[in-house]
Amino acid sequence: MDCIFCKIIKGEIPSNKVYEDDTVLAFHDIAPQMPVHVIVIPKQHIECAADIKEDNSAVVAHIFEVIAKIGKDLGLANGYRIINNCGEDGGQTVKHLHFHLLGGEKLGEKLVK
Ligand code: AMP
Ligand code: ZN
């Protein structure tokens, strides 16, 4: 399967890792859009949020525990934004479920542009 994030998980493509355990990996986005821009992914290939089901949703709960830990570790005590793009209309470019953790400066109140 030609999935760039699966290749990062396997170590075939380098990444700047922030956190890793048995089921979750987090790394700095290659094109950061904020002072802190971390991508958090399940190691299991789930294509998008629309594919989350009873049998694979536990890792999603764990991802949010990991995000809370990363937020603390990276000093984002003032808060941050978590974004998930799903599918074509959602603007998803990498078809492996991922959450953007964005912080380090105050974001506007608009959810979308
Ligand atoms: P999305 O548009 O929600 O699918 O987000 C995909 C994100 O993955 C973008 O913010 C890209 O900059 C990021 N990205 C793509 N390739 C890499 C890579 N090799 N290492 C780190 N981040 C990447
Ligand atoms: Zn994948």
Distance 15 CA to ligand 1 centre (A): 11
Task: Please tell me the predicted confidence (pLDDT) of residue 113.
Answer: 66
DSSP state of 54: T
Which residues form the pocket of ligand 1, taking CB atoms under 6 Å from any ligand atom? 4, 13, 15, 27, 29-31, 39, 85, 91-94
Q: What is the CA radius of gyration of the chain?
A: 14
Are 86 and 52 a contacting pair, CB within 8 Å? no
Domain positions in the chain: 4-103
100 is catalytic: no
Q: Pick the ligand that lies closest to the CA of residue 102.
A: 1
- The CA distance from 111 to 80, in Å, is 13
Instruction: For the domain made up of 4-103, give the CATH fold.
Output: HIT family, subunit A (3.30.428)
Q: What is the pTM of this model?
A: 0.97
Strand order across the beta sheet in which 99-103 lies: 17-20, 24-28, 36-42, 99-103, 80-83
Task: Please tell me the predicted confidence (pLDDT) of residue 112.
Answer: 79
Q: Which residue has the CA at smallest separation from atom 20 of ligand 1?
A: 30
CA atoms lying within 13 Å on the CB side of residue 29 = 18
Residues in the chain: 113
Element at 72 (helix H, strand E): helix 58-73
- The CA distance from 105 to 108, in Å, is 10
Per-residue pLDDT of the chain (113 residues; tens, 9 = 90+): 799 999 999 999 999 999 999 999 999 999 999 999 999 999 999 999 999 999 999 999 999 999 999 999 999 999 999 999 999 999 999 999 999 999 999 999 998 76
